Structure 1
Amino acid sequence: MSVDSTLDPATDGVEETTFRTHDGTELFYRKWPAKSKKPKGAIVLLHRGHEHGGRVSHLVEELGLSDFAFYAWDARGHGRSPGERGYSPSFAASVRDLDSFVKHICETGGFAVKDIAVIAQSVGAVLAATWVHDYAPPIRALVLASPAFSVKLYVPFAREGIWLWQKLKGQFFVNSYVKAKFLTHDPARIASFDNDPLITRAIASNILLDLYTTAERVVNDARAIIVPTQMLISGSDWVVRHSPQHRFYENLAHPLKERHVLKGFYHDTLGEKDRAIAVAHARRFILECFDVKPEALDVTKAHQTGFTRDEQDRLSSPHDLLSLKGLYWALYRASIRFSALFSKGLKTGVDTGFDSGSTLDYVYENEPRGMGPGGKLIDKQFLQAIGWRGIRQRKVHLEELIDTALSKLQQAGRSTNILDIAAGHGRYVLDAIAKSTLKPTSVRLQDYSPINVEAGRKSIAERKLEEIASFHQADAFDGEKLAAIQPAPDLAIVSGLYELFPDNALIERSLGGLAKSMQAGSLLIYTNQPWHPQLEMIARALTSHRGGEAWVMRRRTQAEMDQLVAAAGFRKIDQRIDEWGIFTVCVAERI
């Protein structure tokens, strides 16, 4: 990362500098080094929407945590960071910016992720909550002040109107008309807000809509968050609603959590006239978290006792056929079978299972086919389901990370033997190899299904890759055979497999076999499905490749999947996630 750093002695030792985020953009941030010789940790300050890092810089002194280094960024499109004011490509892109920022802090400051605490307010708090949900970083503490899980727009049907207008006219900007006197009772803060040239009144319509949908997902699924969390809720908030904040807190899984409702406080919780109360809560909580040895909440047994197991059990229980829900899903299943007479994609799913390699390959092709115009229209709707869009984005992320992994291995002077233990038809691996300028030493693809093996061998032949690539029928959960594979893989890939099997014992066996076969410094790419908006529809209406039984998934939180990988002897080093939060693709290094 390239960094231009200047030290301004007039700002009490603050360093003003930039870091390069995931897409190459240089984002501005401020750093206050710890006053002790060895920092106890690092505290990341995230400003609220419309503002910038300078608006939270007062907390560095007010918290009185001189043994900690402090970092405060200007989010993309805010303050002194570049980009159209109030705009980001997506809320997910801004969350990934935060992930890049923390990686930069760890690399340049010498901190481990467990040495990081985050204090975030309003929209910044939603960014932080989404980051710990989607990326599962094992940070030491999280303090959320008045998170903007649900913004009060006041105009009836404003959210629906913004969605419709964006659909018709494309992205536009919505201006905030909230006056400073409704943010805080502090006259100095009011005056500084009104006179700050870096305040951004506008917010892009796509970000506002993303904020709502992401917040709803994270609030409802907050049990996936397993870091110590403190909630500071402003009692008289004019800007955001209280109820999602309380629901989020009540859903949190970690036993170390606190909620403080601050009577009379407006939305600018950490900039209120009586903010010393909120600051004291945050200071004490952070010190308590750092005074004990960090121990992650173990979720590797979630397949036995956990909320995702409860969810799976509910979805496995059929409705009474004569109940309204039973009748609804019976009709839904019948409509799928009827539509499969016309839609090629639905027919493939019905014949081979909607989780089969054949269906997945069809989804990757993304070419509507069927009987006549009506059949093609049905097929197009099938292919545009949000889950399949997520699958295709997962393929993009796989190709990107395969290329990155090959480059990393080559730079380390290693061989580049690839192993995919459940490749389906092998399309995503073979496409990644075709697009990469780096050609691997060898490629061994495996799958349990003879249909997939035959299709994969055909693909290898069509691409004229027989010299380096081969396809074998094998069991991805046979740890002993995985451990004995030669040549030993420098890059192992497990994509779309573990998501289909709820039992962690199988995953442990598979990962254990891979770990035994791989030398230190080898890389593992693995996927996960921490969330899905259509779990019930899939369980009630779609069939699996396993004998046509119902396709009931137990999703794994990202923390659960990462812990299983870590227990096998790998260290996670990178991650991608789609904008809907459905599929992740991660890279881990054998240690």
Structure 2
Amino acid sequence: MLHEQVASAPAEGLARQAQERTFRSHDGTEIFYRFWPAVSAKAKGGVVLFHRGHEHGGRMAHLVDELRMPDYAFYAWDARGNGRSEGERGFAPSFSALVRDIDCFMREITARDGIAVQDTALIAQSFGAVLAAAWVHDYAPKLRAMVLASPAFSVKLYVPFARQGIALWQRIKGRFFVNSYVKAKLLTHDPVRIASFENDPLITRPIASNILVELYQHAARIVADARAITVPTQLLLSGSDWVVRHAPQHEFFVNLGSRIKERHVLPGFFHDTLGERDREKALELIRPFLEGQFAAPAATVDLKQADIAGYTRDEADRLASPLDLLSPKGLYWAVSRAFIRIGSWFSQGMKIGVGTGFDSGSTLDYVYEDEPRGFGPVGRMVDRTFLDAIGWRGIRQRKLHLEELIGSALATLKAAGRPGHILDIAAGHGRYVLDAIAKSAERPASVRLQDYSDLNVELGRKSIAERQLPASVSFQRADAFDGDGLAALNPAPDLAIVSGLYELFCDNALIARSLAGLARAMQPGSLLIYTNQPWHPQLEMIARSLTSHRGGQAWVMRRRTQGEMDQLVEAAGFEKLDQRIDQWGIFTVSLARRL
């Protein structure tokens, strides 16, 4: 549902008139935003402003005129729980929910005003800059450029062990709120900005403890994995910042994978970089940077050869390199492997993992069930710990996202008059597909599940029989990387699903062959659902302690950034439409359309 009206007066006395709009985000929350149309008949592009924590889009509105970019449309939202947007003040269900709000906002801009993401730039400050960086990292949009001002990768809480204390108290008491006591005079030297901050009724002082805790977790992830970000980026740092630490900001810049990147430290500036008394110094850096990026062809970095030469290839090679057994690390991981073996005597899940591989269809099916089993109470306790590992929690969330997008895809196909033939090229035991179909309001014309493992095919057929599904649901043995075999499938799939497969193979040539076979089989308008693992917090533990389904070899994974995976899909002839990612940033599920 959309609402639009012209503001009775421009925010903070601006010359350009703001329109006031709202949109419904992913969970129905109504998000308020301001829109300033370009002065020219056709906008050269869009610039989206993201405010710092506790504030709202009106606090960024002065930039619309001060940047002196009249030929560009400007947008500024109030993040949920802030300003005039819906939501409990200072609260969001999770940090990732706020990041997904950005994705919904950008889709709103494209749908409402026709400004594509590749014709859009971001200017984000403080907490908003971390959200923006997380969105670019996790969703890999084809953004033209972004400017990050004093990103709050690490907030100065001043009280010793405050962050750890907040996390501990939240575990004990549940979610609570932390008030910001930062004085306006420590944010800026501008007396007008100080006065407006102190008297603004839309300022939200409290912030929910879950958001504060997750801010640190996601910031650490984004800083460490900034090589995944290839968007042209300008970083502006306040030289006398009392609110956030400088070290992670510099580390982020060093790690950035962008070929075009700038870093500027503004001496004497307080935290409100873009609201400082001398902010024209910052604006004189932003203006030429953005105009230069809009004037130049989009700076796309080819990631399709990242399996041959790329930082995730280097990471995987390090994890595959053996350790000296008598070294401290060698001894540590030897003990870890021993504990896994001992645990398999008690835990049913660990026993299945040791026997079939921790990446096997049997292990994943057990993880989906999420019911601890083992030898007595101790075994069930060990199994519960096993099932609660963050990777398995991410797998179960991935299943929910698969079910959501499968249901959505079937509805889209029905609306287009397509029969809805489903193909899953590596279904494991098929549980997530069969559960998704059972929950969907739309019924597919046929379901063909495939897998290379005889055991998976046998157990998948057993599951189909137990569910008493019709003959239109079948399970066949096939090679997911046989491009010619996929291309010859009849009926041609209207919806193809690839879940948890490509993540297990580092070679992009294999992935390209599989995707090309699917593309040859699928008619224009058909849909593809694919998964990816752009990040994992336990890569070394997995590589050093767990075995794979391939003959008991070490389970060494090469991560693909979301940008790399999306480029492989696009090269095969698909256009990405939508994406989901879990709250830890581990697994993504994406929807694409055959062009």
Return the TM-score normalized by structure 2.
Answer: 0.99
Q: CA RMSD in A?
A: 0.6
Aligned AA (2:503): E
Q: CA deviation at 1:341?
A: 0.7
- CA shift at 1:17, angstroms? 1.1
Q: What residue is the counterpart of 1:226 in the other structure?
A: 230
Say yes or no: does 1:204 pair with 2:213. Answer: no
Q: How does 1:177-256 map to 2 (within 5 A)?
A: 177-256=181-260
Match of 1:21 in 2: 25
Q: How many angstroms does 1:490 deviate by?
A: 0.3
- Per-residue CA deviation, residues 350-400 of structure 1 (Å, 9 max, x unaligned), is 000000000000000000000011011000000000000000000000000
Alpha-carbon separation, structure 2, partners of 1:13 and 1:188: 21
SS of 2:3 mapped into structure 1 = coil
1:278-297: CA deviation from partner (whole Å, max 9, x where unpaired): 11111111001011111311
Shift of 1:255: 1.2
- For the 8 Å contact 2:231–2:299, the answer to whether it is kept is no
State the distance in 2 between where 1:311 and 1:195 align: 51
Aligned residue number for residue 339 of structure 1 = 343
CA distance in 1 between partners of 2:9 and 2:314 (Å): 57
Q: Does 1:433 align with 2:437?
A: yes
Residue type at the aligned position of 2:345: L
1:325 aligns with 2:329: yes
Q: Distance in 1 between matches of 2:552 and 2:91?
A: 46
- SS, match of residue 10 in structure 1: coil
Correspondence 1:548-559 to 2 at 5 A:
548-559=552-563
Q: Does 1:276 align with 2:280?
A: yes
1:402: which partner in 2? 406
1:507 aligns with 2:511: yes
Find 1:565's aligned residue among 560, 565, 569. 569
Question: Aligned partner of 2:489: which letter?
Answer: I
Offset of residue 339 of structure 1: 1.1
Q: Does 1:449 align with 2:453?
A: yes
Alignment of 1:503-542 (within 5 A): 503-542=507-546
Q: Secondary structure at the match of 1:5?
A: strand
Per the alignment, residue 458 of structure 1 pairs with: 462
Which residue pairs with 1:10 in the alignment?
9
Query: Counterpart of 1:207 in structure 2: which amino acid?
Result: I
Where do 5+ consecutive residues of structure 2 fail to align?
A: 11-15
CA distance in 2, matches of 1:212, 1:322: 35
- Find 2:426's aligned residue among 415, 422, 428: 422
Question: By how many angstroms is 1:229 displaced?
Answer: 0.3
Equivalent position to 2:366, from 354, 362, 373: 362
CA positional deviation for 1:13? 2.0
Percent identity between matched residues is 70
- Alignment-mate amino acid for residue 159 of structure 2: V
What is the aligned residue count?
Answer: 590
- What residue in structure 2 maps to residue 166 of structure 1? 170
Residue identity opposite 1:317 in structure 2: S
Q: Alignment partner of 1:471: what SS?
A: strand
Could you report, residue by residue, the CA deviation over 1:187-211 in whole angstroms, capped at 9, with x for unpaired residues?
Answer: 0000000000000000000000010
Choose from 49, 61, 68 the match for 1:57. 61
Kept after mapping to 1: 8 A contact 2:44/2:72: yes
2:46 counterpart of 1:42: yes
Match of 1:96 in 2: 100
Match of 2:262 among 254, 258, 262: 258
Query: Match of 1:364, SS?
Result: helix
Native 8 Å contact 2:232 2:299 kept in 1: no
Work out which of the residue numbers 484, 489, 492 in structure 2 matches 1:485.
Answer: 489
Q: In structure 1, what residue type is equivalent to 2:48?
A: V
Taking the aligned partners of 2:209 and 2:472, their CA distance within structure 1 comes to 48
Deviations 1:124-159 (A, max 9, x none): 000000000000001000100000000000000001
Quote the Cα distance in structure 2 between the aligned partners of 1:348 and 1:108: 51
Distance 1:108 1:243 in 2: 40
Q: How far apart, in 2, do the equivalents of 1:39 and 1:182 lie?
A: 37
Structure 1 distance, partners of 2:363, 2:202, is 51
One-letter identity of the residue aligned with 1:67: D
Q: Which residue does 1:128 correspond to in 2?
A: 132
> How far did 1:467 drift?
2.4
Provide the rounded CA distance (Å) in 2 between the counterparts of 1:391 and 1:28.
Answer: 34
**Secondary structure of the equivalent of 2:528?**
strand
2:295 pairs with 1:291: yes
Off by >2 Å, runs of 4+ in structure 1: none
Counterparts of 2:203 and 2:329 in 1: how far apart (Å)?
Answer: 50
Secondary structure of the residue aligned to 2:291 is: helix
SS of corresponding position for 2:350? helix
CA distance in 1 between partners of 2:86 and 2:8 (Å): 25
- Show the counterpart of 2:475: 471
1:9 Cα deviation (Å)? 5.1
Distance 1:65 1:13 in 2: 14
Query: How many Å apart are 1:253 and its aligned residue?
Result: 0.9
Gapped regions of structure 1 (runs ≥ 5): none
Looking at structure 2, the residues matched to 589 and 549 of structure 1 have their Cα atoms a distance apart, in angstroms, of 36
Match status 1:155 vs 2:159:
yes
Residue number in structure 1 paired with 2:147: 143
> Once the two structures are superposed, what CA deviation does each residue of 1:434-459 show, in whole Å capped at 9, x if it has no partner?
11111100000000000000011011
Measured in 2, the distance between the counterparts of 1:87 and 1:323 equals 47
Q: Give, in angstroms, the shift of residue 24 of structure 1.
A: 1.1
Superposed displacement of residue 8, structure 1: 2.5
Letter in 1 for 2:296: V
Shift of 1:254: 1.4
In 2, the alpha carbon distance for the partners of 1:371 and 1:9 equals 70
Distance in 2, Cα, partners of 1:8 & 1:235: 36
Q: Secondary structure at the match of 1:144?
A: strand
Shift of 1:466: 3.0
Task: Write the deviation string for residues 64-104 of structure 1: whole angstroms up to 9, x where unpaired.
Answer: 11110000000000000111110000000000000000000
